[in-house]
Structure 1
Amino acid sequence: MKQQVEIEFKNLLTAEEFKHIKQVFHVQDSQFIYQENHYFDTPGFSLKEKEAALRIRVKNDTYTLTLKQLMTQGVLETHERLTKEETLSLLNGTSVITGEMASVLQTMGIPLEQLQHFGTLTTRRAELPYEGGILVLDHSQYLQTDDYEIEYETNDAVRGKQVFEQLLSSLNIPIRPTMNKIKRLYIKKYGVEKRT
């Protein structure tokens, strides 16, 4: 298990803006990597109530269980590698999370036996270095929805915000309040943001 603090800025894009950014940065379709994000929570959305999220990401034949917890500055990510078999049994509900991740979740008061897979979001992602950070282009699909997003990952929240907003300005892209992917999936699935 490993942990890291993620500081990122994100903005939703129109399909036309996404295409324009690809042209500006000379991003080829072949640079996009496919990944699946499978999200978990309890029926009462215990994780969401704690402003946390749990997912399994499948990418390049690797399987990573990630817990995201909101911090004052950024998001604390806790990662644990899984086997394909462990992933499939969690997705179909025939097993529960074990090991160090289970201990972290139990400390949060999350009932492991109630965790269930509630949705999947697939993303084609391209990453490129930009101004000391990483620029990310995402085309995501979920529940008959396509969305496009640009993210900027950085180690410096103050400078990162300036760099990101200057980039959007230079591309004539308005700053849009952008929820994270799991919240967009919640709203699409339930019509409103799910609350208990």
Structure 2
Amino acid sequence: MTKEIEIEAKNIVTKDEFVHLCSSFQLKKQDFHVQHNHYFDTAHFDLKEKQSALRIREKQHKFVLTLKQPHEVGKLETHQSIDKQTMDHTLATGIIPNGDVANQLRELGVTTNTFTLLGTLTTSRAEIDYKGGTLVFDESSYLSIVDYELEYEGEEEEKVETTFGALLKEFNIPKRDTDNKIARFFKAKAEQS
């Protein structure tokens, strides 16, 4: 099990801005790797109510179950590595395996171990080291939508915000209110219902 505090700044960008950023940072097609995020919640959206998210990330033949929940700074992430058979079982049944994520769900007050698969968001991602943090370039597709996002992750909230703000200013990209991927996924799903 791994627990970590995620401190990041993010901004939705247009396709043209994304292409320009990739070119400016000399990113090539081979720098991008595909990952699939399979999102879950209870039938009554208990996680959404608690501003939390549960996913299985499938990336380069590795499978990680992650619970994200609010924290005083950033998000608290609880990760649990699982094998493909466990992932396939969870995708088919909604039954979360025993372990650290299930324990953390109980601490959060979500007592069921059966969840509903809401859908999958696929991201083509490139990451580079940038000014003491990680700059992330994401092209995500879900529910017939494609969006582009720039993220900056670091260890100190103020430094993350300052560094990311300066980068957006340098590239003349306006700061846009940007929900996280699960929130964008939920919004798109609600609009299509």
Q: Helix, strand or coil: the match of 2:72? A: coil
Aligned equivalents of 1:95, 1:151: Cα separation in 2: 31
What does the per-residue CA deviation read over 1:144-181, in whole Å, with 9 as the maximum and x for residues that have no partner?
00000000001011111111001000101000000000
The equivalences for 1:59-74 within 5 A come to 59-74=59-74
TM-score of the pair, normalised by structure 2 = 0.96
- Is the counterpart of residue 131 in structure 1 residue 120 in structure 2? no
> 1:54 maps to which residue?
54
What does the per-residue CA deviation read over 1:59-83, in whole Å, with 9 as the maximum and x for residues that have no partner?
0000000000111211111000001
Q: Helix, strand or coil: the match of 2:93? A: coil
Letter in 1 for 2:90: L
Q: Number of aligned pairs? A: 193
> 1:152 maps to which residue?
152
Aligned equivalents of 1:73, 1:133: Cα separation in 2: 16
Deviation of residue 106 (structure 1)?
1.6
How big is the alpha-carbon RMSD for the aligned residues of Structure 1 and Structure 2?
A: 1.4
Letter in 1 for 2:61: D
- Is the counterpart of residue 117 in structure 1 residue 87 in structure 2? no
Q: Helix, strand or coil: the match of 1:92? A: helix
Does the 8 A contact of 2:93 with 2:114 survive in 1?
no
- Is the counterpart of residue 40 in structure 1 residue 27 in structure 2? no
Does the 8 A contact of 2:9 with 2:153 survive in 1?
yes
- Is the counterpart of residue 23 in structure 1 residue 23 in structure 2? yes
Aligned equivalents of 1:43, 1:23: Cα separation in 2: 43
Aligned equivalents of 1:124, 1:43: Cα separation in 2: 29
Aligned equivalents of 1:167, 1:94: Cα separation in 2: 41
Does the 8 A contact of 1:97 with 1:112 survive in 2?
no
Deviation of residue 94 (structure 1)?
6.4
Q: Helix, strand or coil: the match of 1:167? A: helix
Deviation of residue 109 (structure 1)?
1.9
Deviation of residue 95 (structure 1)?
3.6
Letter in 1 for 2:57: R
Letter in 2 for 1:167: L
> 1:169 maps to which residue?
169
Aligned equivalents of 2:94, 2:2: Cα separation in 1: 26
Q: Helix, strand or coil: the match of 2:43? A: coil
